[in-house]
Amino acid sequence: MDFPTTCPICGRENRAEYADSSVHDLTCVHCGARYCVLVRKQKFEVLFDLGTRALMDGYAREAVASFAAALERFFEFYVRAYVLERASDTAVDFGAATAALAGTWRHVASQSERQLGMFALAYLLREGREPDFLSPAALGADFRNRVIHRGELPTRGDVEGYAAQVFALIDRLLTELGGGAKQAELAQEQAFALHLAALPDGVTAVFEEHPGMFRARRFGSLVPMPKTGKTDAQPAPRSGMNSVRAYQQAQQQALFQRALTERGELLKRFKGGMEDTGQKV
């Protein structure tokens, strides 16, 4: 997947492939100018938005892989946020904390089960309660494994349900993190600063904010969302596991669809702002 960028010298569009580091060193195909695009977006956000794009383009199975990867990378983001938040509270040097965190993560970088264990412990230490949302059913693990490991071809509706489940969980945990997420975001800014310092003369640096579903949620609703009648007015069921599960799924779907709408509104405003300044998007 790629995204459009605007050359800061000639103002014409180039395409850039998403880089793992969110740092993109580019050369304009039109005027030959060198420039660097730094995207302020966490990896889990990029992966989830790529999953959304794949789903909307009709690639349901590929979307599942992106949504599953987004959840795993969010667990990593949570661990980083917790560790750096704790270091900030105890006045530990930020650079030393990030280096220690990177060294520790290397021990589990290729082992998803151990990463999940680190996340579970981080959640317990931060929130003081068990992460009761880590059951296979709550994570949609069976559906993910059937699609990714057994080659099942899912329907669009099934993938939308899985996406809604993943989105609701990440959205909940981001809400609980609150300002704690800023420390992990600061680590990205630090990495950007190191790259900028090493850029040769004549290379223009461009920072970009790419509107995404989680950013729309975190920075508030952009448009008033009307109530949908029966869904919003329907009370939560009092008993019956199937009824409770169906209610939860309906709520997750409503949240996911609302986030899609908010993302669309944010993207419109983003494009409008760029057009007002004469830039392409």
pLDDT, one tens digit per residue, over 136-181 is 998 999 999 999 999 999 999 999 999 999 999 999 999 999 888 8
CB 158, CB 249: distance < 8 Å: no
The continuous run of DSSP H or E covering 13 comes out as strand 13-17
Model pLDDT, residue 209: 80
- Examine the pLDDT at 227 and tell me if it is beyond 70: no
Q: For residues 60 and 233, which has the higher predicted lDDT (pLDDT)? A: 60
Check residue 236 and give its pLDDT.
45
What's the mean pLDDT in 197-217? Answer: 82
pLDDT of 38 higher than 50: yes
pLDDT of res. 214: 73
Spatial CB neighbours of 14, under 8 Å, sequence gap ≥ 6: 4, 5, 6, 7, 26, 28, 29, 30
DSSP-derived 3-state class of residue 208: strand
The residue ranges of every structural domain in the chain are 61-178, 222-276
- Note the pLDDT of residue 218: 58
Which pLDDT value is given to residue 220?
A: 47
For the segment 24-33, what is each residue's pLDDT rounded down to a tens digit? 999 999 999 9
Tens of pLDDT along 236-270? 444 454 554 554 556 666 666 666 565 555 445 54
**For residue 87, pLDDT beyond 50:** yes
Q: Which of the pair, 231 or 275, is modelled with greater confidence?
A: 275
Residue listed under structure tokens 């704790």? 86
Range with the poorest average pLDDT among 12-16, 69-73, 268-272:
268-272
User: In the predicted model, what is the mean pLDDT of residues 212-224?
Assistant: 53
Q: Contact 54/62 with Cβ under 8 angstroms? A: yes
Task: Tell me the pTM.
Answer: 0.78
d(CA 155, CA 126): 38
Lowest-confidence pick of 64-73, 78-87, 209-218: 209-218
Is the model more confident about 253 or about 71? 71
State how far the Cα of 185 lies from the Cα of 182, in Å rounded to an integer. 5
Read off the pLDDT band of 234 (50, 70, 90).
very low
Question: Mean pLDDT throughout 118-126?
Answer: 97
**Residues 174-188: pLDDT tens digits?**
999 988 888 888 899
User: Residue-wise over 67-91: b if at least 16 C-beta within 10 A, else e?
Assistant: bbbbbbbbbbbbbbbbbbbbbeeee
Mean pLDDT of the chain: 82
